[in-house]
A and B are shown apart, each in its own frame.
Chain A
Amino acid sequence: MNTEEKKLKDFGGTLKKLKNGNSVAAFSSCAIFHETIEFLSGKDDIDNLLFHFCDFKDVDFSILKESNVKLMSVMHGNFSNVHLQQLEPCNSLDSIKLHDTKVTEEDIESFMLRRPTMKFL
């Protein structure tokens, strides 16, 4: 495990390699702080983010606009419209997968007006 992976682990995450070659920083059942997102935004080799039942604490996702993250998946937890709107300036992000979050269909529709090319999986 290299230093970066160790640091990711300290934040509660793990790095996974998918069959298609993409790297996923995956977090499960842990608190996500702004520092976590800051760390992720500085990592060029992460293609996807996966948050499974995470507790987002004072997070501002807009910082991810500096990253290369193409897909973000959030399952369960307290991910809400506030968080979704923060993703708007993230140009590299082309797909979002939400499963059982606080985001409503209206929130998505409203987001799509500003980012019409975004794919919601």
Chain B
Amino acid sequence: MINNCWGESFYISSSIAPPSYLGTQWDFALQFMSSFSVTSFLDTLPDFDMRMLCHRFTRAGQLDPKFIESEIYSGQLKVHPEIKQTNFGSQDPIISCLSLSGAIHDFAQKEKRSLITIRSEIKMTLRQIVDQERIEAKKIDEKYRKQSAYEKTRAHVNSVANGLYKSSESFLTWIKEVNDVISLNQRLLRVMKAASATENYDESKRYQVFQQTLAESEKKELVEALGFDPVQISLDKLKQAYELASMIYDDHLTQLILIQFVKDYADVQHNLEWSGIAGDAAFEIVLTALLAIVTGSVGAVASIGAKARQLDQIKKLGKLFTELADELKKIPKGQPISLKEAKKKADKKSQGKVGTKKSSNGSMVDKRAVPQGAALEYQKTRGTYKDDLESSSPLKNNSTAKFQNLKSMDPDYLAEDLGMAKAWEPFGAEVEYLTPEELSKFEVKVVDNKLIDAEGTPVDSGHTNNGKVMFVMDQNGKIYTGEQRIMEFHHSSFLAGNDVASAGELMVLDGQIISHNRKSGHYKPTPEQHGQFISEMQESGIDLSKIPEDVIE
């Protein structure tokens, strides 16, 4: 079974269709009428699928896409639409055929991926769209510069339909078109529902006729803009797409990604293409991508393809959004609140402790001195970082944890892994967040009074820019160290923005701690939290009370 980037699944048979299926499910096997159509299909396959195809169907498993192409075209390989999994037993000829490659298990076992990974892929896909647009805009600009003043004027006047990019209409324009009528879509649904509800009432006949006429005219407009007839899609499917889109759009981090995408997209447009986005296009991007998937591509995909350069990416997005929605559904949510509200709530809570905006000495520091409430609140209600972690993660909160006095990250650093943290503005730094698997490589232990890294080498901070390494300690007393790289790798990187029991810096020489501090802008640990680190070290055999602590001004 292979999945193309449209989210469609296919079973590949090395020969003709098995007789038992002839005339049934195989009726709508894909037909490749030209070598170009084969190439187009193969282009939609992810690299991994392509490698699997080559592995199974080329001589000696050579990576030879050209051979696969010619074999498919000559009918040696046949691509069939997916049949329900329940139809397949272990003796199924197709399964047997694929299982020879030993890969069926890999295909069947859907990789469980975290929200961080899915969001990251969405961001990458959107970035590809922007990059593609940047290239396109450059091409247009080059042609545009070569034109005379008269031709330039004409290009602007003619704009979309007759402009320089006649062959590839703008995705942006398409988004706008959809955006303009999307409210009609909802209206249409209401009208259709109302008409259906009043069907058996004579007195409402005129009203019905009016409604139906209105619906027809609106439908025409909608079909023209969306590129597909909503009647072909059941209300349930539309509703499903709307629900999923709303759920995804409520996900604060995804929303940030989409908003950034719209900005980036607009930025790279040549002014010939730019016609402005009415309203909030981000939601429509999610909805459209989901419609393409949820509706089984009834017309929508073909129509989008005719209009947009980014057909493949839109389909890929649809798949990713569906996956994201599935993961979001699993998160137990409280009453959802925005980050702003969370901050307000936390500020209110902290008023009694540090006053309002300023402390007694008038410093602005205090304004941010108790940010953990907001981060915690935000994380609890939106289910961001904590829920992203695997259940096996050492970071998972539990009441039996060694240390209960934890410090949350300054909420202004939230979404820094996506390059969208307020604290990093205007640089847009993308700070790396480690997965639990990657984290283990940064764990250090005390052996014979020395700090030893995961590879068994004594830690040494001599090679770093400032002669120090960062450390964080999780709630179970596990310590992780690493070199800070500004805007790339910070204290928050280790536990992916989660709470720490302690954080700071160490000067270490051949495993021996020379000095230590609680310097972390992300966490700003309290002396008590630093005390937890000292006691953990003490327990492991290193007495830090005799080693000077750097004073932080």
Contact = CB atoms under 8 A, between A and B. Distances in A.
A38 interface: no
Interface in B362-387: 362-365, 368
A55 B449 CA distance: 31
A65 interface: no
Contact of B468 (A29, A71, A97, A102): A29
Given A16-B487, A19-B428, A102-B363, A30 B465 contact: yes
A27 B364 contact: no
A59 interface: no
A41 B91 CA distance: 75
Contacts of B465: 9, 12-14, 28, 30
A73 B427 contact: yes
Given A29-B484, A101-B364, A53 B521 contact: yes
A30 B483 CA distance: 13
Interface string B465-508: 11010000000000000001111000000000000000001000
B365 A27 contact: no
B364 A104 contact: yes
Contact of A75 (B357, B466, B468, B521): B521
Contacts of B63: none
A26 interface: yes
A53 B505 CA distance: 12
Contacts of A52: 486, 521
A118 interface: no
Contact of A78 (B425, B468, B505, B553): B553
Interface in A1-52: 9, 12-14, 16, 18-19, 24, 26-30, 48, 50, 52
B521 A50 contact: no
A13 B485 CA distance: 10
Contacts of A95: 426
Nearest to A73: B427
B466 A12 contact: yes
Describe B's contact surface by its main secondary structure.
loop
A58 interface: no
Q: Which of A13, A99, A100: most chain B CB closer than 10 A?
A: A100
A106 B426 contact: no
A103 interface: yes
Contact of A104 (B363, B423, B485, B505): B363
Nearest to A28: B486
B364 A105 contact: yes
Contacts of B427: 18, 24, 48, 50, 73
Interface range on chain A: under 10, 10 to 19, 20 to 34, or 35 or more? 35 or more
Contacts of B417: none
Given A12-B465, A121-B426, A100 B484 contact: no
Contacts of A83: none
A29 B466 contact: yes
A76 interface: yes
A50 B96 CA distance: 60
Contacts of B505: 29
A106 B362 contact: yes
B368 A26 contact: no
A113 B364 CA distance: 19
A95 B368 CA distance: 22
Contacts of A106: 362
Nearest to B423: A99
A105 B553 contact: no
Given A14-B465, A14-B486, 16 more contacts: A12-B465, A14-B485, A18-B428, A24-B427, A28-B484, A29-B484, A50-B427, A53-B520, A73-B427, A99-B412, A99-B423, A100-B365, A103-B364, A104-B358, A105-B357, A106-B362
Interface of B: 357-358, 362-365, 368, 410, 412, 423, 425-428, 465-466, 468, 484-487, 505, 519-521, 553
23 contacts: A14-B465, A14-B486, A16-B486, A24-B427, A27-B486, A28-B484, A29-B519, A30-B465, A48-B427, A55-B553, A73-B427, A75-B423, A75-B521, A76-B521, A77-B521, A77-B553, A98-B364, A99-B412, A101-B364, A102-B364, A105-B358, A105-B364, A121-B425
